[in-house]
């Protein structure tokens, strides 16, 4: 298989680079670039808002191909919260998704978690879990840190 530009960039990148490439691929409807962001593992998983757990590269590819048949997915990551270590990273974020309504484009929100692992090929996505948000911007709930002992 011929390496695409996105694959070569990811080999030297970090989880932020893979995430940027993933959302760019969704915005342009480029299935090859999108799949280059995923790890080459049997147990990679993707859960679309309100959908079932989709396991494996073939099944994940099929779900995105079906979505891209209707056009690109105009989604942007916002308010990213990160937990990172030497070989893994978890990014929880809000996806701002542009949807067309009879009145024109509007924003909807999706709550998503992206999990990355450092593989032999570089950082790759191993899980994308997206849950329905609200029609308006999602408000976060948090409390100030407390001393546990």
The pLDDT assigned to 140 comes to 66
**Could you tell me the domains of the chain?**
5-132 (3.10.450.50)
With beta carbons less than 8 A apart as the criterion, state whether 63 and 45 touch: no
What pLDDT is recorded for position 6? Answer: 47
Write out residues in the chain with pLDDT < 70, as ranges: 1-12, 135-141, 148-149
Q: pTM of the entire structure?
A: 0.85
How far apart CA 132 and CA 111 sit, in angstroms, is: 6
* Bridge partners, 90 (sequence order): 83, 115
pLDDT at 107: 87
Question: Do residues 119 and 40 lie in contact, with contact meaning Cβ atoms separated by under 8 Å?
Answer: yes
In 10 A of CB 78, how many CB atoms?
12
In this prediction, residue 149 carries a pLDDT of 67
CA angle 59/100/136 to nearest 5° reads 90
Q: What is the pLDDT of residues 84-99, one digit of tens each?
A: 999 999 999 999 999 8
Look-up: residue for tokens 């999108």? 34
């Amino acid at each position: 298989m011929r390496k695409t530009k996105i694959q070569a960039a990811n080999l030297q990148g970090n989880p932020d680079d893979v995430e940027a490439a993933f959302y760019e691929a969704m915005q342009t409807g480029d299935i090859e670039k999108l799949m280059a962001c995923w790890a080459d593992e049997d147990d990679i998983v993707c859960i679309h808002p309100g959908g079932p757990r989709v396991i494996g590269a073939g099944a994940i590819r099929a779900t995105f191909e079906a979505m891209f048949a209707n056009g690109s997915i105009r989604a942007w990551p916002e308010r990213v919260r990160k937990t990172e270590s030497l070989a893994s990273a978890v990014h929880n974020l809000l996806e701002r998704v542009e949807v067309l309504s009879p009145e024109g484009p509007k924003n909807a929100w999706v709550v998503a978690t992206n999990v990355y692992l450092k593989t032999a090929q570089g950082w790759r996505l191993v899980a994308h879990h997206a849950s329905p948000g609200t029609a308006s911007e999602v408000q976060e709930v948090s409390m100030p840190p407390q001393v546990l002992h």
